[in-house]
Amino acid sequence: MLIAFLAYCLQVTLKNRLMIHASGLTPASVFEKMATIQMVEVWIPMLDGRWLMLPRYTQPSKDVQAMLNKLDITLLRRRVSQPLQRRSPILRDDGMWRCNIK
């Protein structure tokens, strides 16, 4: 129930923002375009037991970037990856990986 409420809040907020910045767009069309941007975390084990995490976003296409600029939305910039302390990846119940510090 909470997820549905948060999704509704996101849609209403986006709808209001679209009325101000881009009246020709609908929330559904924005979500469809935003779905093309993906985020991936690559975990590489190092010889000394640490893990190197490389977060990466796919670069938005020109039309998606134009939409983001019109809505005044910026994506997080890529940061320089650094080796992390000893961590071991654990598969969660939902199929996603997470890491715990040992």
Domain boundaries along the sequence of the chain: 1-35, 38-102
pLDDT category at 22 given cuts 50, 70, 90 is confident
pLDDT category at 77 given cuts 50, 70, 90 is low
Residue 86 CB coordination number (10 Å): 13
Q: Per-residue pLDDT for 5 more than 90?
A: yes
Q: Which two tokens mark 80?
A: 């320089």
Q: Per-residue pLDDT for 46 more than 90?
A: no
pLDDT at 102: 39
Q: What is the SS3 assignment for 33-61?
A: HHCCCCEEEEEEECCCCEEEEEEEECCCC
pLDDT at 96: 57
